[in-house]
Structure 1
Amino acid sequence: MTNPTRISAAALAIAAPLFSGAVQATNGYFVEGVGPKSQAMAGVGIALPQDALAAANNPAGTALVGNGLDVGLTLFSPDRSARIRGNLAGADGDYDGNKKSAFLIPEVGYTRELSPQWSYGVAVYGNGGMNTGYRNNPFAAFGSSGDAGVDLSQLFITPSVAYRPTPEHAFGIAATFAAQRFEARGLQAFDNPFVSASAGNVTNQGHDTSYGWGVKLGWIGRVHEDLSLGLSWSSRIEAGDFERYEGLFADGGGFDIPESYGAGLSWDASPQLTLAADWQKILYSEIGSVGNSLSLLFEGQPLGASGGPGFGWEDVAVTKLGAAYRVSNTLTLRGGVSHAEQPIPAEEAFINILAPGVIEDHVSIGADWKTGLGEFSASYAYAFEETVEGQNSIPMAFGGGEAELTMKQDILRFGWSRNF
């Protein structure tokens, strides 16, 4: 391994007990916001860096937050379920996917000014994930056994460097080292030579890991006395294959992390009130194992094959609106709302029983309190219940009928920061 890969592997090993099974506050399976201040404002941060985790949203923010250390912890509770109706193979039923219903997700950021122009930092955080656990296996009627589900978690380590040529503008670049962990269970119905290109490498192989790296670029500029704009781009992360699941994911176990980009603005409406907005695009469809349709299976492309079937996810555009109101020198109140496009088409509902990332709308609130021991932050976000009802979603080879996916989420986040 290269040294960066060793760092990612070590970090994942240390954090695995907390990150295992982390289903993040999701836009698709990407986290909505990094850090309690961003989360309290529905995840805005492209033009409004607020702490040492700013590089997760825009590496240019590293130049604008000073010297600091931020530590955060999220308590995340998703509620996911599925329903099957009209299936001739006998799979009809209501299925609860909450074998594990609460997760702890840590994050930490550090920034340092080298000079008035140059700053550096590092952010360690969960980029996203997906977890389901069905004690009553939705695929039992097709030959599966035991509990069913998947467990995906992604840990990002993002060292950044930022340059501030003038007080009004900052540019940033970051390298993102990604560590992924995945397990699938209870999918024996798909683990045979008629369905998979690598039977025996579809399910119940324990956790597998993969590593990769990508690049982030960003700019933040104060274009008016009270108005800042920002741009951010994250490259596709070419990750290693999940070799234990090369018969499940397209391209022999491939699971790269998609490219994303966005724009933001921040407006100081008054000395006390700041309003901010972000727009983000996540290109899920470009990753074969995520974006390819399950229908390819019935066109002669088995699971795991080059260009083979996936989960059928579409690209997602996310709009975020947030506000921060400074009540006093020690207390700031925050709030926000966000909306994401639906990544899962109705015709892909069957396979997405495993990954029901159907959330569209979030609302969040939070507060920061400055003390002699540092600044303490807390936020709460609620992801409204969303349902995708299948349309021609279960192939006749599996008895036909329709699958229905439902999810809602509660997210409680705490943070501590210290400037020095």
Structure 2
Amino acid sequence: MKTARNTLKLAPLAALLAASSAMATNGYFSHGYGMKAKGMGGVATALAQDSFGGANNPASMVFAGSRLDVGLDWFSPVRSAERSGAGFATLNGKVDSGSENFLIPEFGYNQMVRNDLSLGVSVYGNGGMNTTYPQGTFDCGGGPANMLCGSGELGVDLMQLIIAPTLAFKLNAQHSVGASLLLGYQRFKANGLQAFDNAPGFPPFSGSPGNVTNRGYDSATGAGLRVGYMGRLSDAFSIGAAYSSKVNMSKFKKYRGLFAGDGDFDIPSNYSVGVAFMPSAAWTLALDYGRINYSGVASVGNPSLPVAPLGAANGPGFGWKDVNVVKIGTAWRMNDAWTLRAGYNRGDNPITPADVTFNILAPGVMKDHYTLGFTWGAGKDSELTGALMVAPRQRVSGPSLFNGVMGPGAAGNETISMRETSLGLAWSKKF
């Protein structure tokens, strides 16, 4: 257990690094957790490949054995926003987000306490949103402005970290259950939203003026629970299921005039079911279906069209709908040293044309993700794993929210778009 104590000392460092990351793939969740899953389209619910059961399926940890997994992923989202057809020509234009490179660490440790009992921890960046648009050449009638009629740089920075202590137990040789305590930390800031902070010349959008924008970083903490089941029904076939409750977070007090519910921004509940088929010792085929319940968090799921002030319980949100995610992956054990992987991840776009304006800040429009990966056995108990993900550009267009302020058609239409690439490497040690 000395190894376990020394290894777990790395968890706070991994947590600090993960808190500096930003993601947006299946909505704002990552397309996968753990480098092996990332190389297979994110599929993981019915597999026991590493110590990231706290992010995927807690029940898998007791089949994964004693091990340490440490990785780093380079993630590059390329975002842009454009307005065209506005009656006021000074509102037209295009801007690109300047933040395009992020390093996202991952850390997992698992210890077999007995043959039928494991205790571990998974540390991971759950997801995030980050945009930094320059002011550009826009003019909303009062001089130079950014695309949302505020001043200076426009954007948000949301980061979510989960530390997941995980306990898994074998009911018998084939079936296991597990649970992870989800300890959440998040921080957020927004810039350039002065027009929504009850600025002169605009409607009184917020119920708490002065707590909408340019307040610097604020943080929140909370907790939730993930539970899971895994069944190895035969040497060739396994199944799995996992459910995560909503992670109830404390409120962003500095932004209680922006987020619905007086600054509330919980992490939504989600679930997945999966199957894996091993037709031979060399091949694995796996499929996951998952759902992320964004509509259960008011600040994310409420429609952006104002029916109440920003910050109110029923105030505007990002208008995100719940998303379904299908992940399919394959692994080929080429020889004792090399395993190759490939996968595909298809998720719904949570953003509708009616909600494009607010989502200039968070253009999580991605649908298709194509992945490749490998593992190289670097020694008897060590291995290196790599993963590549490419997500082609997606776009959503819709009428500007400012048409309701400036008059029908006056602000034209807006388009948000994004494409993504990630490339990661992880080292694993088996004990």
Q: TM-score range by the shorter chain?
A: over 0.9
Question: Structure 2: 5+ residue runs without aligned partners?
Answer: 1-9, 139-144
What is the SS of the residue equivalent to 2:295?
helix
1:274 paired with 2:273, answer no
Instruction: Indicate the residue corresponding to 1:314 in structure 2.
Output: 321
Instruction: Indicate the residue corresponding to 1:188 in structure 2.
Output: 194
Displacement of 1:136 in angstroms is 2.8
1:92 paired with 2:100, answer no
Distance in structure 2 (CA, Å) of the matches to 1:239 and 1:333: 39
TM-score (norm. length: structure 1)? 0.93
TM-score (norm. length: structure 2)? 0.91
Evaluate the alpha carbon distance shift between residue 374 and residue 163 of structure 1 in structure 2; reply closer, same or farther with a 3 A threshold. Answer: same
Matched residue type, 2:114: S
Instruction: Indicate the residue corresponding to 1:338 in structure 2.
Output: 345
Instruction: Indicate the residue corresponding to 2:368 in structure 1.
Output: 361
CA contact under 8 A between 1:25 and 1:411: conserved in structure 2?
A: no
Evaluate the alpha carbon distance shift between residue 18 and residue 261 of structure 1 in structure 2; reply closer, same or farther with a 3 A threshold. Answer: closer
What is the SS of the residue equivalent to 1:294?
coil
Matched residue type, 2:172: T
Instruction: Indicate the residue corresponding to 1:3 in structure 2.
Output: none
Distance in structure 2 (CA, Å) of the matches to 1:321 and 1:161: 27
Displacement of 1:116 in angstroms is 1.4
Evaluate the alpha carbon distance shift between residue 86 and residue 204 of structure 1 in structure 2; reply closer, same or farther with a 3 A threshold. Answer: same
Residue by residue over 1:3-48, the C-alpha shift from the partner in whole angstroms, topping out at 9 and shown as x without a partner, is xxxxxxx97897556643x332510001111111000001010001
CA contact under 8 A between 2:59 and 2:230: conserved in structure 1?
A: yes
Instruction: Indicate the residue corresponding to 2:429 in structure 1.
Output: 418
**Correspondence list, 1:121-200, <5 A:** 121-136=120-135, 140=146, 143-192=149-198, 194-200=204-210
Instruction: Indicate the residue corresponding to 1:228 in structure 2.
Output: 238
Matched residues, number? 406
Displacement of 1:88 in angstroms is 3.3
Residue by residue over 1:87-123, the C-alpha shift from the partner in whole angstroms, topping out at 9 and shown as x without a partner, is 23532111111x2210111110000111111111100
Distance in structure 1 (CA, Å) of the matches to 2:277 and 2:259: 44
Instruction: Indicate the residue corresponding to 2:356 in structure 1.
Output: 349
Instruction: Indicate the residue corresponding to 2:222 in structure 1.
Output: 212
CA contact under 8 A between 1:335 and 1:366: conserved in structure 2?
A: yes
Superposition RMSD on alpha carbons, in Å? 1.8
What is the SS of the residue equivalent to 1:109?
strand
Instruction: Indicate the residue corresponding to 1:256 in structure 2.
Output: 266
Instruction: Indicate the residue corresponding to 1:384 in structure 2.
Output: 392
Displacement of 1:391 in angstroms is 4.5
CA contact under 8 A between 2:120 and 2:167: conserved in structure 1?
A: yes
CA contact under 8 A between 2:22 and 2:104: conserved in structure 1?
A: no
Residue by residue over 1:165-189, the C-alpha shift from the partner in whole angstroms, topping out at 9 and shown as x without a partner, is 2111110011000000101001111
**Aligned with 2:417 (options 406, 409, 412):** 406
Matched residue type, 2:395: T
**Aligned with 1:284 (options 294, 308, 316):** 294
Question: Structure 1: 5+ residue runs without aligned partners?
Answer: 1-9
What is the SS of the residue equivalent to 1:289?
helix
Matched residue type, 1:325: W
Displacement of 1:224 in angstroms is 3.5
CA contact under 8 A between 2:14 and 2:107: conserved in structure 1?
A: no
Distance in structure 2 (CA, Å) of the matches to 1:412 and 1:48: 22
What is the SS of the residue equivalent to 2:59?
helix
What is the SS of the residue equivalent to 1:332?
strand
Matched residue type, 1:190: F
Displacement of 1:377 in angstroms is 0.7
Stretch of structure 1 that moved more, 375-384 or 88-97: 88-97
What is the SS of the residue equivalent to 1:54?
coil
Distance in structure 2 (CA, Å) of the matches to 1:57 and 1:142: 37
1:107 paired with 2:117, answer no
